[in-house]
């Protein structure tokens, strides 16, 4: 299957594969719900009026002929609008400006946020590279034919949410301490775990996050220089373990196998439940005051934060 066909299939909402296929092979996802409640936000029952979309989507034509096919398929399938978490949070927050999601030819692999244009840009080159890496893994790991597509899609979701995080921080003037890039990885994970009221099961969500973690590790050469150490992003290995810790922290008992498999050290794992809870609470608390009129938070947790914040 070519990338363009695969992307079209993904965006067309192909039938969900069996749950087990969602997980990267290195990790077995426990067959039960984690302890962390799944979602904290829902549309108000009568809130249709307030629920206006806050995002726009556009697909820029590339100049390079070899990217034309990808462009057409992505555009025809309206890929960005159909990313589940983006769909779920479109309109959820009261933003002072619209956020525009665009695909574009960038000349290199990447995705970024342009604050001056409130624009999240996903490069066609990124889609291409992710799918190629997915195919490599599919072959190396003896995965089924749909693996590369799921790998691409899971990573696109994470990447776009990371960039969405930059947009939310700017537009809602959210405080961030520590390194913003680490915070954006956390936010992307929390958005996937908690804010998007998706049809997917918790362990499908975890499977997607695991593929995002896998990508970070697979990009790494392990050979670093001063530029890498000084970069605003953590090293690929660190981003990998940070994500693994957030996954593990949702259900330490269920994910005990991750430590045995070497996906997480025992020393780090010991604090992951607390780490995940802390990150989740922080983002829930930062975001809930900014819900658009058509949405409401629910559950004791939300009520507690809103009262305290008010």
Q: Judged by CB under 5 A, which stretch of 60-68, 145-153, 184-192, 205-213 contacts Zn ion?
A: 184-192
Query: For Zn ion, which is the closer residue by CB, 184 or 187?
Result: 184
H/E stretch holding 138 reads helix 124-141
* CB under 8 A, 24+ apart: contacts of 300-307: 301/37, 301/40, 302/40, 302/41, 305/281
Q: How far is the CB of 205 from Zn ion (least distance, A)?
A: 21
- For the four alpha carbons of 247, 53, 169 and 291, in that order, the dihedral sign comes to negative
Q: How far is the CB of 185 from Zn ion (least distance, A)?
A: 8
Q: Judged by CB under 5 A, which stretch of 49-57, 68-76, 145-153, 183-191 contacts Zn ion?
A: 183-191
Question: Which residues 128-147 are close enough to bind Zn ion by CB under 5 A?
Answer: none
Query: For Zn ion, which is the closer residue by CB, 142 or 175?
Result: 175
Measure the CA–CA gap between 214 and 148, rounded to whole angstroms: 13
Q: How far is the CB of 12 from Zn ion (least distance, A)?
A: 29
Q: How far is the CB of 112 from Zn ion (least distance, A)?
A: 7
The DSSP bridge partners found for residue 42 are: 296
Axis crossing angle, helix 3-11 with helix 124-141, rounded to the nearest 10:
100
Query: For Zn ion, which is the closer residue by CB, 181 or 200?
Result: 181
Is residue 184 a contact point for Zn ion (CB under 5 A)? yes
Question: Three-state DSSP class for 116?
Answer: helix
Q: How far is the CB of 156 from Zn ion (least distance, A)?
A: 15
For residue 192, give every residue at least 6 positions away whose Cβ sits within 8 Å of its Cβ, in sequence order, or none. 85, 157, 158, 161, 205, 208, 209
- The conformation of residue 18, written as its DSSP 8-state character, comes to P
Binding-site size, Zn ion (CB under 5 A): 2
Query: For Zn ion, which is the closer residue by CB, 184 or 292?
Result: 184
Is residue 120 a contact point for Zn ion (CB under 5 A)? no
Query: For Zn ion, which is the closer residue by CB, 9 or 102?
Result: 102
Query: For Zn ion, which is the closer residue by CB, 161 or 273?
Result: 161
Q: How far is the CB of 252 from Zn ion (least distance, A)?
A: 28
Q: Phi, psi (5° rounding) for residue 65? A: -55, -35
Is residue 154 a contact point for Zn ion (CB under 5 A)? no
Query: For Zn ion, which is the closer residue by CB, 105 or 182?
Result: 182
Q: Judged by CB under 5 A, which stretch of 56-64, 181-189, 201-209, 223-231 contacts Zn ion?
A: 181-189
Cα distances (Å, whole numbers) of residue 162 to 57, 182, 191, 277, 294: 17, 10, 9, 19, 24
Contact footprint for Zn ion (CB under 5 A): 181, 184
């Amino acid at each position: 299957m070519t990338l363009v066909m695969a992307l079209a299939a993904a965006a067309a909402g192909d039938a969900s594969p069996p749950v087990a296929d969602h997980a990267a092979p290195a990790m077995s996802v426990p067959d039960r719900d984690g302890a962390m409640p799944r979602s904290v936000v829902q549309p108000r029952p009568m809130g249709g009026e307030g629920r206006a979309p806050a995002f726009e989507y556009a697909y820029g034509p590339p100049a390079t002929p070899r990217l034309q096919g990808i462009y057409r398929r992505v555009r025809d399938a309206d890929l960005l609008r159909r990313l589940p978490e983006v769909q779920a949070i479109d309109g959820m927050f009261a933003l002072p400006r619209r956020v525009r999601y665009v695909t574009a030819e960038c000349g290199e692999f990447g995705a970024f946020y342009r604050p001056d244009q409130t624009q999240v840009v996903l490069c066609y080159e990124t889609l291409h590279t992710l799918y190629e890496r997915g195919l490599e893994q599919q072959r190396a790991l003896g995965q089924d034919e749909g693996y590369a597509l799921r790998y691409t899609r899971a990573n696109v979701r994470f990447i776009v949410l990371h960039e969405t995080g930059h947009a939310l921080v700017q537009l809602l003037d959210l405080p961030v301490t520590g390194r913003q890039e680490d915070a954006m990885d956390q936010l992307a994970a929390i958005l996937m775990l908690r804010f998007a009221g998706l049809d997917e099961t918790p362990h499908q969500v975890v499977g997607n996050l695991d593929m995002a973690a896998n990508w970070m590790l697979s990009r790494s050469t392990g050979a670093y220089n001063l530029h890498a150490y000084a970069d605003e992003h953590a090293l690929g290995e660190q981003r990998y373990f940070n994500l693994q810790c957030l996954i593990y922290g949702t259900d330490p008992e269920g994910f005990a196998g991750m430590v045995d498999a070497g996906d997480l050290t025992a020393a780090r794992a010991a604090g992951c439940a607390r780490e995940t809870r802390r990150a989740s609470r922080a983002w829930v608390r930062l975001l809930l005051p900014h819900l658009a009129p058509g949405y409401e938070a629910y559950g004791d947790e939300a009520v507690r934060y809103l009262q305290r914040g008010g």
